[in-house]
Amino acid sequence: MDRKKELKQLYKETKVEAGVYQIKNTINNKVFIGSTRNLKTLKGKQFELEMGTSTNKMLQDEWSQYGKDVFSFEVLEVLKPKETGYFDAKRELKKLEEAWLEKIQPYEERGYNRVKSS
């Protein structure tokens, strides 16, 4: 098998994990809590910030001000799918993210998330 086919097969076999992550400013301890259906895309979040294209203006402003070296990326929890029965990954991921938002409260002076109006 040629290298391209090997890599393609390896990619298909790689397990995609969903989960909740945080981006933390180590100078002022402000955090952003987010979730993704593929934790491997966290590099993409970092790339957005480096390119100045993040949709989170507060986070982008501080990234530009302080530089990438003061920010850390951390997976807080990986979504564990149910073994049996129906499993709505999108809904469960949203619930998991909401639980972490409730726990950490990354709003106003504590973080970069916005309070969602009910």
* Model pTM score: 0.84
User: What does the alpha-carbon distance between residue 87 and residue 85 come to, in Å, rounded to a whole number?
Assistant: 6
Domain range enclosing 80 = 16-109
- pLDDT above 90 covers a percentage of the chain that reads 74
In this prediction, residue 58 has a pLDDT band, given cuts at 50, 70 and 90, of: very high
Domains identified in the chain, total number: 1
Q: Is there a domain that residue 5 lies in?
A: no
Q: Is there a domain that residue 114 lies in?
A: no
- The three-class DSSP label of residue 48 is helix
How do residues 33-57 score in pLDDT, each as one tens digit? 999 999 998 999 999 999 999 999 9
- The CA-atom distances, in angstroms, between 3 and each of 10, 15, 16, 95 are 10, 20, 22, 40
CATH number for 46: 3.40.1440.10
In this prediction, residue 64 has a pLDDT band, given cuts at 50, 70 and 90, of: very high
State both tokens at 72. 């850390």
**Average pLDDT value for residue range 6-12:** 74
Q: Is there a domain that residue 11 lies in?
A: no
